[in-house]
Amino acid sequence: MSNDQEPRRRFLRQVLAIVPAATVGTGTALTQTACSSPTETSSAAAASSKPYSPTYFTDAEWTFINAAVDRLIPDDEHGPGALKAGVPEYIDRQMETPYGHGKLWYMQGPFHPDQAPEMGYPMNLAPRDIYRHGIKSCDDHCAKHFGGKTFAQLDQKTQEQVLGEMEHAKVEFDSVPARTFFSYLLGNVKEGFLADPIYGGNKDMVGWKMIGFPGAGADFMDWIEQPGVKYPYGPVSIDGRRG
């Protein structure tokens, strides 16, 4: 929750280039594309029109996820936010992938939280565990400082205050560093907003439409020699759906 007031559209154009290259050392998640089978992604696409029930998160955790992502990318004059884009569904699906279970990197230690990223994964917690511990720690912190209320029960301004304190390590959690938890949450929110819809988020390709990304078109040859010309067609998903 930076103090930078740069418009969200410009911000998301920048993170579009950052997300695929993110490393586990910074806490930002790898995309589900790298660790899902065609069957899994097809199932996600087929279920996209049905109400989603989380398979990993508990009801209390799900309430937190929905409240938090809504503050990180809210609805505004540029378009729908993370909730309408289905970002909570994307995050929940991530928890049941090899990424969520921490199977994409070495997890046997030794672990040193302050070590440089190039020295390996610094924790003994897989992403799904970071979420579980992080959500509980955040709710406990809020209950202690805001009259027994959980994060989701706070007003939006206070929620943003808490997220900002987590981002800048101004609060301490017992089981997982607050900044680490925030980093995973923010990284997955960016991914869920901008990833192909077959992975559960970016519903109706709202993220792509907002930044003008054409998606997974099969052929852009006609536009290579037309710099500066606006692409006239809507985005298309990997599975052929058009936005």
Residue 152 has pLDDT above 50, yes or no: yes
Q: Is residue 128 part of a domain?
A: yes
The rounded Cα 35 to chain-centroid distance in angstroms is 16
pLDDT in the model for residue 222: 81
- The answer to whether 24 and 176 are in contact (CB under 8 A) is no
- The answer to whether 191 and 82 are in contact (CB under 8 A) is no
| Average pLDDT estimate for 219-242 | 84
Residue 66 has pLDDT above 90, yes or no: yes
Q: Is residue 113 part of a domain?
A: yes
Q: Which of 31-35, 192-196, 199-203, 236-240 has the lowest mean pLDDT?
A: 31-35
Based on its alpha-carbon atoms, the radius of gyration of the chain, rounded to whole angstroms, reads: 18
Run of H or E including 182: helix 178-194
Residue 29 has pLDDT above 50, yes or no: no
**What is the number of domains present in the chain?**
1
The conformation of residue 95, written as its DSSP 8-state character, comes to T
Q: Is residue 219 part of a domain?
A: no
Domain hosting 40: range is: 8-211
The conformation of residue 190, written as its DSSP 8-state character, comes to H
pLDDT classification of 13: cutoffs 50, 70, 90:
low
Q: Is residue 36 part of a domain?
A: yes
Q: Is residue 221 part of a domain?
A: no
- SS3 helix, strand, coil % of the chain, rounded to 5? 50, 0, 45
Q: Is residue 230 part of a domain?
A: no
Please give the structure tokens belonging to residue 69: 């992502």
Q: Is residue 238 part of a domain?
A: no
Residue 184 has pLDDT above 80, yes or no: yes
Q: Is residue 117 part of a domain?
A: yes
Q: Which amino acid is at 157?
A: K
**pTM of the full structure:** 0.79
